[in-house]
């Protein structure tokens, strides 16, 4: 059983830019990694000051069980889909704006 939730955000960072997920992955705390992946605020794209993400740290420290945690693939795909959707929506807005600028001439009101 996990202790009561503290007021510290689950994606808080320390001086080395480590989040709880990064620390848990580095030290092989599979249960903690699994629990953190259930939290919506936790980013699987988090990196430390050396630009190493969670999987880099797990592999670098021979934490094979962390890499096998079931939620990774789903979490990465979900986050990737969100980024892709936001990017597509932004591109769509920009294309529409450019199209409107090309096709609709500016009309100067007659005096």
Q: What is the pLDDT of residues 25-55, one digit of tens each?
A: 899 999 998 888 888 788 777 788 888 888 8
Domains and CATH numbers, the chain: 20-103 (1.25.40)
Query: Which ranges of the chain does DSSP label H, i.e. alpha helix?
Result: 20-27, 30-37, 54-60, 64-67, 71-103
Cα separation values, 84 from 56, 74, 76, 81, Å: 23, 15, 12, 5
Buried b (16+ CB within 10 A) or exposed e, 16-43: eebbbbbbbbbeebbebbebbbeeeebb
Scan for tokens 């939620």, then name that residue. Answer: 71
Radius of gyration of the chain (CA): 21
Q: What is the pTM of this model?
A: 0.57
Question: Rounded distance, CA 4 to CA 38, Å?
Answer: 16
**What per-residue confidence (pLDDT) applies to 27?**
93
């Amino acid at each position: 059983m996990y202790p009561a939730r503290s007021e510290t955000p689950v994606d808080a960072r320390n001086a080395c830019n480590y989040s709880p997920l990064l620390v848990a992955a580095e030290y092989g705390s599979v249960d903690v990694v699994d629990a953190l992946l259930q939290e919506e605020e936790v980013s699987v794209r988090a990196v430390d000051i050396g630009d190493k993400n969670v999987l880099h740290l797990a592999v670098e420290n021979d934490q094979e069980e962390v890499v096998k945690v079931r939620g990774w693939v789903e979490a990465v795909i979900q986050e990737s889909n969100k980024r892709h959707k936001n990017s597509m929506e932004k591109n769509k807005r920009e294309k529409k704006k450019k199209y409107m600028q090309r096709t609709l001439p500016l009309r100067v009101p007659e005096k």
